[in-house]
């Protein structure tokens, strides 16, 4: 199991469910805890020194597992679905800049969760048609650079579209793009699926990145989700990519990350 932990990129100032505020020192902490890589949450690649960021990550012996998009909508209010066409155009171009960054950073996947936005005033079908065309455009650009795009199904508590793994597969098939996969989050899966474990078994072949989180965004094993069972089913599908955490950080992110990696190690032992 390749393990990653979220960290905000240097140009982002928004709080996240991970490390933020002291990039190099936080990278050292992530490495010291035994993680293999990071999930880098980025606002705008044009506002960072890409070469320096990459050098700093590698100096600390880490890989970049994925590029996250939360800071983009939190700080710059950009979404792929928005009633303002100019916002949509900016969002597509920003995503392509993330692809450029991902190409330089270990060809990490680029993740699209809440950043896709909500259904627009034009209605569900037209909104999904617009999103499909945008994803085709982004995926075509990413394909030339060897980068994959991950769509994250999210529960109705967070968004009004693409709730389940099945929903994500439908939009992937609608695009016809081979380099689009699924970021699957246990927290959302537990809320949105009729049976999360069955969904993992059925659609796991589409998964390219995992967010491990318990109910209420608790540290894995501290809520109601059977984390060991989730991993057991996941690995039967042949999944071998990164697992990251998206959890409430509590008072001390270091301690939260420390507890989390121990849970992941124990889960790994239970399925080996």
Q: Which of 28, 25, 8, 27 is nearest to 16 (CA)?
A: 8
Three-class DSSP category at 123: coil
Among 216, 208, 270, 193, smallest CA distance to 242 is for 208
* Residue in 104, 6, 14 with CA at minimum distance from that of residue 58: 104
**Cβ-count burial of 144 within 10 angstroms (0-12 exposed, 13-18 middle, 19+ buried)?**
exposed
Beta strands in the chain (DSSP E): 2-8, 37-41, 63-68, 109-112, 149-151, 180-185, 207-212, 242-245
3-state DSSP assignment of residue 162: coil
pTM of the complete model: 0.97
Residue 195 has pLDDT above 80, yes or no: yes
Q: How many H-runs (helices) and E-runs (strands) does the chain carry? A: 10, 8
- Tokens 């902490």 -> residue: 29
Contact between 51 and 95 (Cβ < 8 Å): no
SS3 240: coil
Q: Which residues pair with 181 in a beta bridge?
A: 150
Query: What Cα–Cα distance (Å) separates residue 42 from each residue in 66, 105, 112, 191?
Result: 10, 12, 12, 27
Express each pLDDT in 126-158 by its tens digit.
Answer: 999 999 999 999 999 999 999 999 999 999 999
According to the model, what pLDDT value does residue 270 have?
84
Cβ pair 228, 236 in contact under 8 A: no
pLDDT at 272: 72
Cβ proximity of 180 and 172 under 8 Å: yes
Convert the pLDDT of each residue in 6-59 to its tens digit. 999 999 988 899 999 999 999 999 999 999 999 999 999 999 999 999 999 999
Per the CB < 8 A criterion, the answer to whether 218 and 187 are in contact is no
Q: Is residue 251 classed exposed, middle or buried when 0-12, 13-18 and 19+ CB atoms within 10 A define those classes?
A: exposed
Confidence (pLDDT) at 147: 98
- pLDDT band of residue 271 (cuts 50, 70, 90) is confident
First vs last C-alpha separation in the chain: 10
Question: Tokens 């936005």 map to which residue?
Answer: 117
Residue 220 scores a pLDDT above 90? yes
Residue 5: which of 247, 263, 267, 272 has the closest Cα?
247
What is the structure's pLDDT at 15? 87
Q: Contact 90/144 with Cβ under 8 angstroms? A: no
């Amino acid at each position: 199991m390749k393990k990653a932990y979220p960290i905000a990129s240097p140009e982002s100032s928004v709080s996240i469910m991970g490390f933020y505020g002291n990039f190099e020192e936080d990278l050292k902490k992530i490495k010291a805890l035994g993680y293999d890589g990071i999930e880098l949450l980025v606002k705008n690649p044009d506002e960072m020194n890409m070469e320096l960021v990459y050098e700093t990550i590698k100096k600390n012996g880490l890989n970049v597992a994925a590029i996250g998009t939360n800071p983009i909508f939190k700080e710059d209010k950009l979404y792929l679905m928005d009633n303002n066409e100019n916002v949509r155009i900016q969002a597509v171009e920003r995503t392509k800049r993330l692809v450029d960054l991902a190409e330089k950073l270990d060809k990490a996947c680029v993740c699209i969760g809440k950043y896709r936005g909500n259904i627009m005033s034009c209605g569900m079908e037209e909104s999904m048609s617009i999103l499909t065309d945008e994803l085709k455009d982004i995926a075509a650009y990413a394909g030339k650079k060897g980068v994959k795009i991950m769509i994250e199904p999210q529960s109705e508590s967070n968004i009004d579209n693409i709730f389940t793994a099945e929903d994500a597969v439908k939009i992937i098939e609608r695009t016809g793009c081979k380099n689009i996969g699924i970021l699957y989050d246990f927290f959302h899966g537990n809320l949105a699926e009729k049976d999360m474990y069955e969904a993992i078994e059925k659609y796991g072949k589409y998964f390219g990145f995992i967010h491990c989180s318990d109910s209420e965004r608790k540290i894995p094993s501290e809520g109601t989700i059977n984390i060991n069972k989730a991993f057991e089913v996941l690995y039967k599908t042949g999944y071998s990519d990164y697992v990251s955490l998206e959890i409430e950080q509590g008072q001390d992110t270091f301690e939260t990350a420390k507890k989390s990696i121990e849970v992941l190690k124990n889960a790994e032992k239970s399925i080996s």
